[in-house]
Amino acid sequence: MTSEGQVTEDQQAQFRTADQGLFTQEMHSKSRNVLNRHRFNNCQTQVAAKSRLKEATPMAKPSTLYTRRLSRTESGLWLNLDESRSSLVQKDALRGYMDAFVSLSGALLYLSSVESNPIGGTAAYRDSVACTLCLVSVRMKPSFRKELLSLMIKSSLPFFRSASIVQVEALVNHSRNRNGIPFPLAYDLPAWVMPILETNGFQKAEQLCHYSAENISGRKAAIHGRQWDSHPDLARADALFRKAGMESGLSCSQAHLAVSVAAGLRSLKTLSVKGRALALTGFMPYGKRALVTVCLHDSEKLDVTQFAAGLLNLCVESRVKSLDLLLVGQGQRELVGSLAEICSSPFKRELLQMMRKVL
């Protein structure tokens, strides 16, 4: 028994138990609140992180490239590749030029696709005489160039030396404002191909040039009774190419290809005297422009001014307003000077860098 107003030990114990229960419930409630806030903040952090990752990570580009060689009848697929230069000529005319190229035994066309969608292609020419493969055209959609251009070019070229191919060549045009002459009339590659060639072991070799003149004179020049042959002599033209090509610095496979394509298009012209070819040119009107895809002459038998006059006469007969010399060797500077004097018009030059890889 206790006196009134006093608390027994049992009652004190019950009070302590109740206080502990309330304290425990309060602590559990605070813990749950802290845990919920932590979960909420953590969820927000994860959502924000995912959002930032989605914004920072671009869509992965397809990286599987499939390249195959096209047959002669499939050249239209290659022409359909997106390239701005192809709009400069009628499709029918360009198809005719391509037919002349694919009819050659050394012509090679490759088409590259991603997920069955064509994105690019290459054209090459196998020169059996020089045992050289030259890369003469490269097309690829800009959005794929960084990732797949190197792979596409590699898949089009030989990896090892063989009896038929001992080296690979490519001619690169460094000009920002390229001439706009399409393949298979011109064989220079755009400047964006150069880093890929260098990465794949190509070395700089000789330089060629592309010359062009506007508003050329419309007067005929005398060439002392010498006229272009009514029908080109292909056998003699080949002999002249071997001799004059070395002298003029224009013995590359691209020049040999230009002669072959011009013959296929019936635009190859020869100037002969006493059964010997003294000059040859691949000459074709191209709108208001005259394209000289290749030009060579025997400097011992034909004066350079006479050769220049002969080229100008072809322009006058075709009623063109401008002249393009697509391939000019280092030994043909005198020819360009004579043409500039006769045409009364200056020539603009574009440098073409030959890149070569010995296998």
Condensed to tens digits (0 to 9), the pLDDT of residues 251-302 reads 999 999 999 999 999 999 999 988 889 999 999 988 889 999 999 999 999 9
Q: Is the pLDDT of residue 83 over 50?
A: yes
Per-chain mean pLDDT for the chain:
82
Q: What pLDDT shows up at residue 273?
A: 87
The whole-angstrom separation of Cα 287 and Cα 267 is 15
Q: Where are the beta strands (DSSP E) in 215-341?
A: 268-273, 276-286, 289-297, 322-328
List pLDDT tens digits, range 128-151.
999 999 999 999 999 999 999 999
Q: What pLDDT shows up at residue 3?
A: 46
List pLDDT tens digits, range 86-115.
444 556 778 889 999 999 999 999 999 999
Q: CA separation (Å) from 221 to 28, 224, 239, 316?
A: 108, 9, 27, 9
pLDDT level of residue 18 (50, 70, 90 thresholds): very low
SS3 state of residue 214: strand
Q: Lowest-pLDDT range, 4-8, 141-145, 234-238?
A: 4-8
Cis peptide before 184 (omega within 30 of 0): yes
Q: Is the pLDDT of residue 206 over 80?
A: yes
pLDDT level of residue 223 (50, 70, 90 thresholds): low
**pLDDT over 70 for what percent of the chain?**
76
Number of other residues whose CB lies within 10 A of the CB of residue 164? 13
pLDDT level of residue 4 (50, 70, 90 thresholds): very low
Q: What pLDDT shows up at residue 222?
A: 55
Q: Is the pLDDT of residue 56 over 50?
A: no
Number of other residues whose CB lies within 10 A of the CB of residue 126? 19
Give strand pairing partners of 204.
355
Q: What pLDDT shows up at residue 219?
A: 64
| Identity at 116, one-letter amino acid code | S
SS3 state of residue 345: coil
The whole-angstrom separation of Cα 247 and Cα 252 is 12
pLDDT level of residue 1 (50, 70, 90 thresholds): very low
**Mean predicted confidence (pLDDT) in 213-232:** 75
Q: For the chain, how long is the longest CA-to-CA vector?
A: 154
**Mean predicted confidence (pLDDT) in 179-191:** 88
From 250, 252, 251, select the one nearest 331 (Cα to Cα).
250
**Mean predicted confidence (pLDDT) in 14-22:** 48
Q: What pLDDT shows up at residue 333?
A: 93
Q: What pLDDT shows up at residue 283?
A: 95
Q: What pLDDT shows up at residue 94?
A: 83
Q: Is the pLDDT of residue 221 over 90?
A: no
